Each structure stands twice: as structure tokens, then as C-alpha cells.
Structure 1
Amino acid sequence: MSQTEDHAAPTQWKCANCDLPLEPGQVMVSYLGNSYPVNLMRCPNCGMVLVPEDLALGRMVEVEKALEDK
């Protein structure tokens, strides 16, 4: 994850807290002291982020394992 990854696809998701439509935006994902910029859907009001299942169970798991092996 050396470059900004884009997982912010237009959707009909709404924030459970604010009831506002999620918007694409850059967020910092951190694990074991390492941070990476990722474009994800987020609430424009409270900042809650939607992490898609394929990202959470795919690329993020790979990065976590690689960082833990260091």
C-alpha cells in the first residue's frame, strides 16, 4: 500500500448516526504504527468510514500479515 488506494465508489450508503449519504474522501488507515492514505466512503458530518468487506478481508489482511512478520 505505498500509494493511495481508491475504494470510494459511489453508493447509496447512509451514515447510521447522521442519516446523511456517504461521500468519497481520503482517510488514513493505521496499523502497528504505520499509516496509509486510502480513498473510502465517509460521512461528511461525523467522519464515520465505510470499509468494504472485500478490502477488509483482502488487501488489509495482507498488509497486516506483512507488517506483523517484520
Structure 2
Amino acid sequence: MKTNDEAEMQWICEKCNEKLVMEKTSVIYLDADFQVELLKCPRCGMVFIDEEMARGKILEVEKALEDK
């Protein structure tokens, strides 16, 4: 569960100095294309994937696709 501080935290793109916004983003892995909501810079399009997602959902998807 996220604390109030984490929920209210604003991530900033280091390159553009813009606030990241939640946006549907295409993620491609092993020829599979997934649409997921991720934090993204509105200017340069750089996506931020937090550690929880990288070690959780994305790792599960990677394992499932690699096992096929």
C-alpha cells in the first residue's frame, strides 16, 4: 500500500523538467504488444517504470512469455 507521500509524489523528467503524466503506453516484449498505464513525459515520451511494477507485473509477463 502506498503512503500519502508516495501517492502525492510528482515525478519529473530529468531531460525536459516536465511533470510525468499517466498515459496509455505500448510496451513490446518478445513480439507481444501490451497497452498499460505508465508515467510518461509529455514532451519527450520517456516512460518511468517503478521498481514495484518492474519486479512484479512485468517480471510475471516476461516469465509467462519466455515459457511459451
**Band of TM-score, shorter chain:** 0.7 to 0.9
Q: What is the aligned partner in structure 2 of residue 44 from structure 1?
A: 42
Structure 1 residue runs of 5 or longer lacking an equivalent are: 1-8
Distance 1:32 1:21 in 2: 30
Q: Segments of 4+ in structure 1 off by > 6 A?
A: none
Runs of 5+ consecutive residues of structure 2 not aligned to the other structure: 1-6
Amino acid at match of 1:37: Q
- Output the amino acid matched with 1:12: Q
- Letter matched to residue 31 of structure 2: G
Identity %: 47
TM-score between the two structures when normalised by the length of structure 2: 0.84
Q: Which amino acid aligns with 2:16?
A: C
Q: Larger relative CO (CA 8 A, sep 6+): 1 or 2?
A: 1
Q: Please give the root-mean-square deviation of Cα atoms over the aligned residues, in Å.
A: 1.3
- TM-score (ref. length: structure 1): 0.82
The one of 14, 30, 33 equivalent to 1:32 is 30
Q: How many residues of Structure 1 are paired with residues of Structure 2 in the alignment?
A: 62
Larger radius of gyration: 2
In structure 1, what is the equivalent of residue 54 of structure 2? 56
